[in-house]
Amino acid sequence: MKICVFGAGAIGGYMAGELALAGHEVCAIARGAHLAAIRSHGLKLIVEGQMRTVDLPASDDPAAFDPQDVVICALKAQQAHASAGAFAPLLGPRTAVLTAMNGIPWWYFYKERGPLDGHHLESVDPGGAQWNAIGPERAIGCVVDPACEVVAPGVIEHRLFKRFTIGEPDGSTSERIVALRDALVSAGFDVPIRETIRWNIWLKLWGNVCFNPISALTLATLDRVTSEPGLRALCKSMMAEAQAITASLGLTIPEEMMERRLNAAGSVVGHKISMLQDLERGRSLEIDALVTAVQEMGRLVKVATPTIDTVLALVQERGRQAALYGNDAPLSSGFPAPNLTRLHA
């Protein structure tokens, strides 16, 4: 299969390397020192303590490559939005785009089959840049579980998990998703296909909507956010509001999974979640796909979200004060720098 990984940072680089080693025709979009290292010495993967090197074509210009069978978008949501037009050279008539990203995806209501079917979410895709430039008919959903890190330019260490849960927006088991599943499985990944990929997206987001902003506001590690009584109660309040939204959208997440989600996250002692890492490293904050979109969807289905609203206002201002959110966030023109550390909670 001919595959381009757009954003070959921690998760994207891990996917690109394993797919190339499995014999697929893989190219990567990266930039800066990371790109230079890949070009000079190959992409190095550290998996289960063993380092392997794979040579693959890489560029910061998507026009260097032809149309692909699949483009894997492994950027942050705001970077993907800024790069929407840059996907064009990679897109042929049948190219699929796998959104291997956190949060609510820009295509969420495409073929959703509810009263909001076809609705465009402004919080994650302002002006419909991705909807119009890429097209929701290309999208395949993906929930990312692996924990990986770029430990040096061109060097990616895989630490935990190998699951990428995928699903078509319309819930079908299409020919293209089966082919993609088979390609990913051939690379050693665990890849279940789900008829209700939005349920899996919400289950992941159920934690991210609270863990990330609370951590960025308090500087607390994940185990502290989920174990300190006041912070745990705040998490529960935000999760309950998100649960009410999912119920209004026809999705049911059992209430007992709240405690399981909190306890599982709390077992990762000393871990700094991605938004706190980004804050400390001066990278743009992924607020809108994780939190603002939940607020927007709450308003669409007329579910009040007072706790989410309050935390969102605080973390947005925290981001603005650090010049990491809004107009002052460090997003360059063209292809933005990938998030090089992706440790998923």
Measured on CA atoms in the order 88, 93, 99, 104, is the torsion positive or negative? positive
For strand 91-100 and strand 25-29, is the pairing parallel, antiparallel, or unpaired? unpaired
Burial readout 209-236 (b: 16 or more C-beta within 10 A, e: otherwise): bbbbbbbbbeebbbebbbbbeebbebbb
Q: Is 204 a catalytic residue?
A: yes
Ramachandran sector of residue 118 (left: φ over 0; alpha: ψ -120 to 50; beta: rest) = left
Which ranges of 50-174 would DSSP assign to H, the alpha helix?
A: 77-82, 129-133
| Given the residues 2, 204, 272, 302, the one annotated as active site | 204
Rg for the chain (alpha carbons), in Å? Answer: 19
Element (H, E) at 177: helix 175-186
Residues carrying an active site annotation: 204
